């Protein structure tokens, strides 16, 4: 009986963990390029999902068109977020930039309420994959779809950052913005691109989470925060580790829900983050710059 | 008397005069604004002096409110011991929490303390037999002070909030001008240089964090008495975020401007509360404008605003 519950917990944990993983990737992209913790990351997911919902109501979207539309609008939303936050206050103190992302998340949430209302909307499953049985482990259709979307995103993003000139420029800015600038890289452009890419990842996360939990105007902050926990768990440095952090967090959360109440689960998850922040060996210098 | 203290006296006199003529409902609103102002002042100890961005305001405020209500329920005559006792507990909680978190930078510290706030709310929800859970708690007994009697009604709470802000403001100025305050400012300006000069950074900053936590707890006690009812929603992330936002807009380290920012912006936000579904959007736009305008004023791009 316990094995059955555990298998179910892993199934739901991986489905949500894939979403956390995508959010964590967005967080770490923005953090590495601009040393900013983006509070509006969750709202990128929300608006990306809601735009996709409206498109699906207006047009009959197939899997490919849905993916392309998600990618395009997510990219555009991320760019708009950059232009209205970091882009406006490039030389401001980090705390003021952080607070501007908080205010931006309010603006975006307000826009979502005004346009789509407060009732939750259910996003169609555009990329429907069959369930999968791996020995005692059963992965439902939603879980397989979420995992496939997320893993494909990690592979493509990894390829982009490693193999293309623009991707290498983003990595150079992440490592040392001043040295990258001396080599002819425009750090501002790299930061804007990181925001846009994180918007794309958030929209893909919305595509994965929308059919599972529906889209609600106030869901962004919670998911964004979980993405931050996952990114901290993964250590911000490597894409695969950050994504794995998301999966681990999803599974831990599902197991905690199995063992404790939902409120206690949240308490333990956030306690884990505080413990990680205090104990994890992230370079001191990098932290000071945030 | 320093210039800041003179300005604080003028500010409090103006607010007291305003409160004297306001009818009950408006006075209750003003009390809510002053409660937020007290919290901004509390956060100013951590951020303005020590350079630590905390989002745990809600947690310390809630700790004060819940502890005060529960203890007053058990011992109605114990105000003189309960109030300083709870403030002291909040001080030590904040002090010890701050120590391991000191090494984190602004952003990570903000996220860690944000988690503390969420943990507090979830614990309140979990231990519903003591705290009432999501249903909240009615305040059965008002604090009683010798010679004054029960602190009941909006006017009494208004006076209590004014006294709290006056006390906090005085303490802020006194601390800033002291040796400890200069050590805190040194930690804020350059942590490494401060350590090199022999300043015990962790303990020094923990002290300012503790004072901020205690002041938040006191504000929470007054809020509980003022509203007559407490629930986890009053001390959630919204309170912590708002407090930090107003302090950043007003300018950390300054005394009067953050308090003014609270009163002006909160009044403005309350004014737009009747907009229905557009409320959140308008609130976000107001806060964005205030943040961007503050940045432009600092960088000299907006010559019309006073620097």
Containing structural domain, residue B179: 3-236
Tens of pLDDT, residues B187-209: 988 888 999 999 999 999 999 99
pLDDT of residue B42: 96
Tens of pLDDT, residues A87-105: 888 888 888 999 999 999 9
In a domain, B246, yes or no: no
pLDDT of residue B272: 86
- In chain B, the number of structural domains is 1
- Whether A61 shows a pLDDT value over 50: the answer reads yes
Of A95, A109, A117, the CB nearest to B53: A95
In a domain, B296, yes or no: no
pLDDT of residue A78: 96
> CB B105 to CB A271 under 8 A?
no
**Is ipTM beyond 0.90?**
no
Q: For residue A88, give the chain B residue with the closest CA.
A: B292
Tens of pLDDT, residues A167-190: 999 999 999 999 999 999 999 999
**In this predicted model, which residue has the larger pLDDT, A154 or B106?**
A154
B120, B240 Cβ separation under 8 angstroms: no
Rounded average pLDDT over B265-289: 88
Helices (H) and strands (E) in chain A, counts: 12, 2
From A174's Cα to the closest Cα of chain B, the distance in A is 17
> CB B283 to CB A36 under 8 A?
no
- CA B160, B163, B167, B168: dihedral to nearest 10 degrees? 60
In a domain, B190, yes or no: yes
Residue from A277, A283, A286, A289 whose CB has the most chain B CBs within 10 Å, to mutate:
A277
Tens of pLDDT, residues A16-35: 999 999 999 999 999 999 88
> CB A103 to CB B191 under 8 A?
no
**In this predicted model, which residue has the larger pLDDT, B174 or B272?**
B174
Task: Kindly report which listed range (A45-49, A152-156, B99-103, B113-117) carries the lowest average pLDDT score.
Answer: B99-103
- Whether A242 shows a pLDDT value over 60: the answer reads yes
In a domain, B34, yes or no: yes
Residue from B280, B290, B298 whose CB has the most chain A CBs within 10 Å, to mutate:
B280
pLDDT of residue B89: 97
Q: Hey, where are the domains in chain A? A: 2-289
In a domain, B96, yes or no: yes
Task: Label each residue of chain B as H, E or C.
Answer: CCHHHHHHHHHHHHHHHHHHHCCHHHHHHHHHHHHHHHHHHHHHHHHHHCCCCCCCHHHHHHHHHHHHHHHHHHCCCCHHHHHHHHHHHHHHHHHHHHHHHCCCCHHHHHHHHHHHHHHHHHHHHHCHHHHCHHHCEECCCCCEECCCEECCCHHHHHHHHHHHHHHHHHHHHHHHCCHHHHHHHHHHHCHHHHHHCCCCHHHHHHHHHHHHHHHHHHHHHHHHHHHCEECHHHHCHHHHHHHHHHHHHHCCCCCHHHHHHHHHHHHHHHHHHHHHHHHHHHHHHHHHHHHHHHHHHHHCCCCCCCC
pLDDT of residue B304: 55
From A130's Cα to the closest Cα of chain B, the distance in A is 37
In a domain, B250, yes or no: no
In a domain, B256, yes or no: no
> CB B245 to CB A103 under 8 A?
yes
In a domain, B144, yes or no: yes
Rounded average pLDDT over A257-282: 82
CATH number of A2-289: 1.10.3470
pLDDT of residue A80: 95
């Amino acid at each position: 009986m316990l094995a059955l519950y555990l298998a179910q917990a892993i199934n739901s944990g991986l489905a949500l963990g894939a979403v956390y993983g995508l959010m964590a990737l967005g967080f770490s992209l923005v953090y590495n390029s601009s040393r900013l913790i983006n509070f509006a990351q969750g709202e990128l997911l929300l608006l990306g999902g809601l735009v996709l919902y409206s498109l699906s109501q207006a047009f009959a979207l197939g899997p490919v068109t849905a993916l392309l539309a998600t990618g395009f609008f997510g990219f555009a939303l991320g760019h708009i977020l950059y232009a209205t936050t970091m882009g406006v206050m490039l030389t401001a103190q980090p705390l003021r930039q952080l607070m501007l992302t908080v205010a931006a998340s309010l603006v975006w949430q307000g826009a979502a309420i005004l346009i789509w209302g407060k009732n939750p909307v259910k996003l169609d499953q555009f990329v429907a994959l069959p369930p999968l049985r791996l020995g005692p482990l059963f992965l439902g259709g939603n879980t397989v779809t979420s995992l496939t979307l997320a893993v494909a995103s990690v592979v493509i993003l990894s390829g982009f950052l490693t193999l293309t000139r623009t991707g290498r420029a983003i990595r150079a800015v992440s490592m040392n913005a001043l040295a990258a600038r001396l080599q002819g890289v425009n750090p501002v452009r790299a930061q804007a691109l990181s925001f846009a890419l994180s918007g794309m990842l958030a929209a893909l996360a919305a595509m994965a989470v929308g059919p599972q939990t529906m889209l609600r105007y106030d869901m962004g902050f919670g998911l964004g925060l979980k993405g931050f926990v996952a990114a901290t768990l993964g250590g911000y440095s490597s894409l695969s580790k950050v994504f794995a952090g998301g999966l681990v967090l999803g599974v831990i959360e599902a197991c905690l829900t199995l063992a404790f109440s939902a409120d206690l689960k949240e308490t333990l998850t956030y306690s884990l983050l505080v413990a990680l922040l205090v104990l994890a060996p992230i370079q001191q210098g990098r932290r000071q710059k945030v | 008397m320093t210039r800041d203290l003179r300005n604080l006296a003028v500010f409090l006199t103006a607010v007291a005069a305003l409160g004297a003529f306001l009818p009950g409902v408006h006075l209750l609103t003003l009390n809510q604004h002053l409660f937020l102002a007290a919290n901004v002042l509390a956060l100013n100890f951590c951020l303005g002096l020590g350079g630590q961005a905390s989002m745990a305001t809600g947690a310390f405020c809630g700790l004060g409110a819940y502890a005060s209500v529960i203890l007053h329920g058990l011992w109605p005559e114990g105000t003189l011991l309960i109030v300083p006792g709870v403030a002291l507990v909040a001080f030590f909680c904040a002090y010890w929490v701050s120590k391991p978190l000191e090494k984190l930078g602004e952003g990570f510290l903000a996220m860690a303390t944000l988690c503390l706030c969420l943990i507090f709310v979830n614990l309140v929800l979990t231990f519903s037999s003591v705290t009432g859970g999501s249903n909240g708690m009615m305040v059965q007994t008002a604090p009683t002070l010798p010679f004054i009697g029960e602190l009941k009604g909006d006017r009494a709470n208004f006076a209590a909030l004014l006294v709290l802000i006056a006390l906090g403001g005085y303490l802020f100025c006194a601390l800033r001008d002291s040796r400890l305050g200069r050590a805190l400012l040194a930690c804020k300006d350059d942590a490494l240089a401060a350590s090199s000069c022999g300043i015990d950074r962790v303990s020094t900053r923990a002290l300012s964090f503790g004072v901020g936590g205690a002041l938040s707890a006191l504000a929470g006690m007054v809020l509980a008495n003022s509203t007559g009812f407490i629930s986890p929603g009053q001390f959630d992330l919204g309170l912590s975020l708002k407090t930090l936002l107003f302090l950043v807009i007003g300018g950390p380290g300054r005394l009067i401007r953050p308090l003014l920012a609270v009163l002006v912006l909160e009044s403005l936000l309350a004014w737009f509360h009747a907009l229905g579904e557009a409320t959140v959007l308008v609130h976000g736009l107001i806060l964005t404008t205030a943040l961007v305008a503050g940045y432009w004023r600092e960088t000299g791009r907006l010559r019309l605003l006073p620097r």
